[in-house]
Amino acid sequence: MSDLEIRSGGAIAVDTEELRAVAWRLREFGVSLGEFADRAGWVATDAAATATGFGVDLEARWLASGAERVAEQPAALAGALDALAAAYELIELRVQQAVAIAAGDADATRAIEARMAVLQQEYPDAARAADTAVNAWRGGGPIEMARQVAAATWWIPGMAIPLALGTGVLWSGVALAGLGRMSQAPVSPGAPVADAAPNATPTLGAGQRSGTRHPLAGAPATSLSPAPLAVRQVTPAPTSGPVTGLADAARRVPGAAEARVRVERYAMPGGGSQAAVYVAGTQTLSGGSGDPFDMRSNLELYRGERSASLESVELALREAGVDPGEPVHVFGHSQGAMLASALALEGTYDVQTLVTYGSPVEAAVPDSVLSISIRHTDDPVAALAGGGHAETVGAPGSFVAERVADPGAGVQDITLAAHGIERYAETAAMVDASSDPRAVALRDLWGTLGSAERVEVTEYAADRGSG
């Protein structure tokens, strides 16, 4: 039996308006019960007055009394639901407040704080309930890894419990610091510099970039490392045809050979095209190596900075002919998941679907992006997301799918077995087979891409020169 869990994500994976709607319906039901209790009371009174009820008055009084007691319960439950909705809304407002303050939007900040004050006045316990919900959600994160650490180190005298506790403390520190929450597209460190002239002729060959870059829409020009970056087309993997599901997408993520980025162009019926992009994870633990998909890029992305690997993905998309504004569906594993998330936040392309496998971050994508995060609770890399955002992110239907990939503790944990794309493909297959409505709805995407008249596939290796 699968332990797969599919949920909307975050500490507030509920619709506060739906909670309030249920509370309203409960109150209506309570009113109806109260009216019934009143009628039963009238019957009892009439029966007693006529003295011909033969016990009908007693039965009616008993029924009226019971109805009154039952009528009180929907109102009490409705009050509890309203209070719960207030707590969840307060969590959402706190997130919005932080975003507004960071953006320097004083008007939005005041409006949000005014709504928070109203909620806390109407529901004095809402703040405490909100804190409890967030703490409980974050506190449950490291349990599985701590259990496995303790089980794997039981034979080391006096170390199992400290190591297990250390795992929990590390996870909590990441969560509290917000390191695993990508709220904006990565930016280049350093002061902005003047961009190249709009009509300047590039001096580098096709597939290369160096020095300043033309900025993404709405972003300032920034300076890059002087080291040249190049992508080159390589022979694509034999997989062909339209992507058919999350497991199939996981198997298309490159990295086993030279390729780092796979681009599929779908020629749609009636004209127009869409693209599916698959991005590899970290390939080397060294920093500043010839392969931009290295630990240096990993750390830069995790800190919210642009990386050579992000530059190479953007360059590969241009080389493949993907136009700005074109509908794109992005899939990424590990570092590739961070890169896919960055594309979804940058806004250059119309990213409609973001699927991440074992991502160390969760991106606060807009509600135009369907966000699907597949995680393993025993994957240390996925744990770096610290549970992600407290609020749900992405379009309606977005979800997080989690399970324990490798329940047994042992030496295989040293190799990060639970982080491998093969394990994530297994989990993705479980999601594909799930009857959960959110997973079922994904079949519309596969059907749309499956209707393409033609699929063109290109794969790219990436190289970073010394510098």
Report whether pLDDT(136) > 70.
no
Residue 418 banded pLDDT, cuts 50, 70, 90: confident
pLDDT of res. 408: 61
Residues comprising the chain, all counted: 467
- The per-residue pLDDT for range 273-320, each reduced to its tens digit, is 999 999 999 998 876 678 999 999 998 998 889 999 999 999 999 999
Burial of 326 per CB tally in 10 Å (0-12, 13-18, 19+): middle
Residue-range domain boundaries for the chain: 10-135, 140-173, 225-464
Percent of the chain whose pLDDT exceeds 70 = 64
The dihedral region occupied by 17, where left means phi > 0, alpha psi between -120 and 50, and beta the remainder, is alpha
- Mean pLDDT lowest among 2-16, 228-242, 359-373: 2-16
Cα angle, residue 195 at apex, residues 190 and 198 outer, rounded to 5°: 165
User: For 128, how many CA atoms within 13 A lie in the half-sphere containing its CB?
Assistant: 4
**pLDDT digit string, tens, across residues 60-93:** 666 666 666 666 677 777 777 777 777 777 777 7
Kindly indicate the confidence band of residue 104, based on its pLDDT and cuts at 50, 70 and 90.
confident
> Nearest 5 degrees, angle CA 353-CA 357-CA 358?
140
Q: Which residue has the higher pLDDT, 151 or 69?
A: 69
Give the per-residue pLDDT at 423. 94
Instruction: Tell me the whole-structure pTM to 2 decimals.
Output: 0.66
**Burial class of residue 268 in the structure, from the number of CB atoms within 10 Å of its CB (0-12 exposed, 13-18 middle, 19+ buried):** middle
For 384-413, write each residue's pLDDT tens digit.
876 666 667 889 889 999 898 876 655 555
Q: Check residues 22 and 462 and name the one with the higher pLDDT.
A: 462
Report the C-alpha gap between 400 and 371 in whole angstroms: 8
CA atoms within 13 A of residue 264's CA, in its CB half-sphere: 27
Per-residue pLDDT, 77? 73
Say yes or no to pLDDT of 269 above 80: yes
The DSSP secondary-structure symbol of 413 reads: G
Q: Is residue 147's pLDDT more than 60?
A: no
- Quick: pLDDT tens for 426-441: 999 999 999 999 999 9
